[in-house]
Structure 1
Amino acid sequence: MMDDYTRGRIFQCKKDLKRTLNMYTLNERFEVQIRRSSKTRYEDGCKDGDCEFHLRGIKMQKGEYWVVRMFLKDHTCNIDGFHTRLRQANSWTVGELLAPKL
C-alpha cells in the first residue's frame, strides 16, 4: 500500500486520493489531519504538527486527475499516542470498504 503514494503516482480524482490515504492510515493505525484542501491542492499530515509525515497532491491541468507531488512516509513523532481513536474510520470510509462486498 505504501507504493500508492510514490512521487508522481496518479489518481483518477481527489476522492480516490483521499480514499487511498484513509485506507493507508487505517492499516498503519495512525491519524492524519488535513492541512490544506482546495479544488487544485490537497495536503495531509500526521496529527502531531511537529511530525514530518506529509502528503501533497495537486490536480493536473487537464482532466480530473490528481498527482502526488510529495510523500514523506517516515514519522518523527511517537505515533503510539495516535493509535486509539482512528478518526479516519468514518461512515464514508466504512461504506467504501463494504460497498464492493454488498
Structure 2
Amino acid sequence: MIIAAAVGKPVQASAGGTVVYSGDGLPGYGNLVIVKHDAEWLSAYAYNQSLLVNEGDRVKGGQTIARVGPRDHRKPDDGGHLLFQIRRQGKPVDPERYLP
C-alpha cells in the first residue's frame, strides 16, 4: 500500500515489536524499517527519508520510527510517499483489513 504524505512527516509503527531490519541494503525499497510483532506478523515501511530506529530496538505502537521520503529523490519537493506492508508468515496481506 502506497501512502501519500508530506516529506519529513513522522512514520509511526503500526504496533509494538522488535526492529529486525533498519537500512538501505534491500534493492527497490530505499530506507526500510521492518518491525516483527510476533512469530506470525511483521510490518514494513519503505522509501523513508531517514530512519530513527536501529535493528534490535523495541518499539511501541504509534512510536515514530522514520520520516517520510520523497516520491522521487531527484525531486525532493515533489511530495512524499511511504510503502507500507503487513506480512503474515512472510506473505503480504491487505493492510486495510487490519488497520482501524
Higher RCO by CA contacts (8 Å cutoff, separation 6 or greater): 2
Higher Rg: 1
TM-score, normalized by length of structure 1? 0.30
- Higher strand proportion, which one? 2
Compare the two structures and name the one with the higher helix fraction.
1
